[in-house]
Chains A and B, each alone.
Chain A
């Protein structure tokens, strides 16, 4: 709820500055669906990191953040209001949808294996090129091409 209050404050501040009148809508979205905003926020951070950095490991970190945002998206949509864990229990008959959790378990495994393969590749790239900066690798590749042309 603190996050909500912070969001409301931020939106108010923003709207005061520009004098917009759709405040009620935006506040409503933030109050009721802030978890999706978190997902979008993480997704954009992840994609931006993947595209913008030139360091191979940082790219992998970006990809991981991107994937985790999607995991959160699945987990969020499986939540049912006042739901409990999906087990037989006398005190509650409402439970969360367990299927997205299972799907995400699979997706996490996939994500971990992707990271493992990527890191193995990076180790080999470092062995071969002596660097994990993309710019340096490109320079060395150009040198390779020049050398093969001369030879």
Chain B
């Protein structure tokens, strides 16, 4: 019983400790780092499921670190929204960790592999810390833990551009984190507290203070940079394109989602919705910006020739959907937004995993290189097709569910002019996804000499449509995520139930 009560802190402490153990024992056997990281992330997934169950049974969990009562001590506060995002993050972390073995063997030098898993665990720790904590300064600290490990992970990419991409992300990420720090300073100055629940109670009396306005401004800009909202997205394509495949998977599927979570928590949890609408038109500004993100992200994705870069720009568009749903301040739209955190994690995770499989098998990252891949890697391409259809928002896939809810929410909020935006975004994503699907299944004639496959970087064969599928250790997780894309598209009751509760909680505080 005692053990169960300590779960909220264990989900942070266990990966943190094992992050340090991995490089120590990693030299014994080359499989050990992978085994440890998969086991630990699976364990975290189990803990997060158990936390979610507890939240569904009994409501909010409040864990006092060191037994100090909040608002004096640091509190880990878990409600519907936290528990939901926590399950998403730990699940994706587990799946990506399972997937990572062969891909890491190919893309990362032998002497760096155990360090890679160490930093990977630190990254996960940081993300889960942001999600679980109920203390606003703790959010900053965990944000920096995850960002710093993120820079290191990106810099492990094979090409030398990875270093520059990582450096650019570091500069922008640090500016963003410092902005968030200034915001925290202002609201601490105004209220004298750092606990989120306590801030919620104290801030409404101070809504007329300029300090609180300035704080919200800094938070919005800082968080928008972190989650790559449209005009501030410049770090994202480079970072995703040059990072190792596994890192692209985990970052695309979780890091920006956690950024969105932090934004939801601060804009709707710390400040209240009436403040965002009546005292400063932040909601309206964000509606305009996120609509632009939806269109521009998808349009830029169409112009890309590199597969990873295209998916990165498509992420920019999808983040636009999440933010748009959130700032409409309508229950249905908020539900769509929260559930899109899960849905986008599933489909972007699956898409980047497919890219990882292609890179592992052929070394190709260009869209033009994918011709006729449907015969060569049928299972991988099936996963790509399913996740791609999700990205477009075809019914019976997860993408449809969230877009439907966001569209309904836009109608409820009497903003019909957002419906064309949502649909245009979907159509544009149909353009960039269908271009690839057409390429892989219905190829044009291709000169023989352009096809060179390397098997794990070793053998080179020149047969055109020879069946050569990615190893099952990579294919399994990819197929699992793709299957979930369909499963949650058909029976979305469970995530919708939680997302609805989270939306009600965010809007009615």
Chain A residues close to B by CB (< 8 Å)? 47, 50, 56, 59, 63, 66-67, 70, 73-74, 77, 100, 103, 106-107, 110, 113-114, 117-118, 121-122, 124-125, 128-129, 137, 141, 144
Q: Are B181 and A70 in contact (CB under 8 A)?
A: yes
A118 nearest in chain B by CB position: B170
Kindly list chain B residues whose C-beta atoms are within 8 Å of the C-beta of A100: 185, 188
Complex CA–CA separation, A128 to B155 (angstroms): 12
| Known A-B contacts A121-B155, A141-B164; A70 and B182 likewise in contact (beta carbons under 8 Å) | yes
| Known A-B contacts A121-B163, A128-B160; A114 and B170 likewise in contact (beta carbons under 8 Å) | yes
Nearest-neighbour CB distance to chain A for B209, whole angstroms, equals: 14
Nearest-neighbour CB distance to chain A for B498, whole angstroms, equals: 33
Kindly list chain A residues whose C-beta atoms are within 8 Å of the C-beta of B230: none
A67 nearest in chain B by CB position: B178
B contacts with A, residue count (CB < 8 A): 25
Q: Are B137 and A103 in contact (CB under 8 A)?
A: yes
Q: Are B141 and A122 in contact (CB under 8 A)?
A: no
B161 nearest in chain A by CB position: A141
Kindly list chain B residues whose C-beta atoms are within 8 Å of the C-beta of A113: 144, 148
| Known A-B contacts A118-B170, A144-B161; A63 and B141 likewise in contact (beta carbons under 8 Å) | no
The 5 nearest A-B residue pairs measured at CB: A128-B160, A110-B144, A125-B163, A121-B167, A77-B189
> What would be 26 A-B contacts, judged by CB atoms less than 8 Å apart?
A47-B175, A56-B167, A59-B171, A63-B171, A66-B175, A66-B178, A67-B174, A70-B178, A70-B181, A70-B182, A77-B185, A100-B185, A107-B140, A110-B141, A110-B177, A114-B174, A117-B152, A118-B167, A118-B170, A118-B171, A121-B163, A125-B160, A125-B163, A137-B164, A141-B161, A141-B164
Q: B interface, by DSSP: helix, strand, loop or mixed? A: helix
Q: Are A124 and B175 in contact (CB under 8 A)?
A: no
Complex CA–CA separation, A124 to B170 (angstroms): 14
Kindly list chain A residues whose C-beta atoms are within 8 Å of the C-beta of B152: 117
Q: How many A-B residue pairs have CB under 8 A?
A: 68
Complex CA–CA separation, A123 to B152 (angstroms): 13
Kindly list chain B residues whose C-beta atoms are within 8 Å of the C-beta of A73: 182, 185
Other contacts beyond A106-B141, A114-B144: 9, CB < 8 A: A50-B171, A50-B175, A56-B167, A77-B185, A117-B151, A118-B170, A122-B167, A124-B155, A129-B160
Q: Are A125 and B144 in contact (CB under 8 A)?
A: no
Mask, B145-180, CB within 8 Å of A = 1, is 000100110010000110110110011001101100
Complex CA–CA separation, A125 to B188 (angstroms): 39
Q: Are B161 and A121 in contact (CB under 8 A)?
A: no
Among B144, B148, B185, max chain A CB count under 10 A is at B185
B159 nearest in chain A by CB position: A144
Kindly list chain B residues whose C-beta atoms are within 8 Å of the C-beta of A122: 167
Kindly list chain A residues whose C-beta atoms are within 8 Å of the C-beta of B141: 106, 110
Q: Are B163 and A124 in contact (CB under 8 A)?
A: yes
Kindly list chain B residues whose C-beta atoms are within 8 Å of the C-beta of A124: 155, 163
Nearest-neighbour CB distance to chain A for B390, whole angstroms, equals: 32
Complex CA–CA separation, A107 to B144 (angstroms): 9
Q: Are B181 and A107 in contact (CB under 8 A)?
A: yes
Q: Are A117 and B164 in contact (CB under 8 A)?
A: no
Q: Are B148 and A117 in contact (CB under 8 A)?
A: yes
A103 nearest in chain B by CB position: B137
B144 nearest in chain A by CB position: A110
Give chain B interface residues in 166-220, CB to chain A under 8 Å. Answer: 166-167, 170-171, 174-175, 177-178, 181-182, 185, 188-189
Complex CA–CA separation, A128 to B152 (angstroms): 16
Report which of B163, B178, B181, B188 forms a contact with A128, defined as CB distance below 8 A.
B163
Kindly list chain A residues whose C-beta atoms are within 8 Å of the C-beta of B181: 70, 107
Complex CA–CA separation, A110 to B170 (angstroms): 13
Complex CA–CA separation, A113 to B296 (angstroms): 35
A116 nearest in chain B by CB position: B148
Nearest-neighbour CB distance to chain A for B118, whole angstroms, equals: 14
Complex CA–CA separation, A141 to B181 (angstroms): 34
Kindly list chain B residues whose C-beta atoms are within 8 Å of the C-beta of A107: 140, 181
A138 nearest in chain B by CB position: B164
Kindly list chain A residues whose C-beta atoms are within 8 Å of the C-beta of B160: 125, 128-129, 144
Nearest-neighbour CB distance to chain B for A47, whole angstroms, equals: 8
Q: Are B151 and A121 in contact (CB under 8 A)?
A: yes
B137 nearest in chain A by CB position: A103
Nearest-neighbour CB distance to chain A for B459, whole angstroms, equals: 20
A132 nearest in chain B by CB position: B167
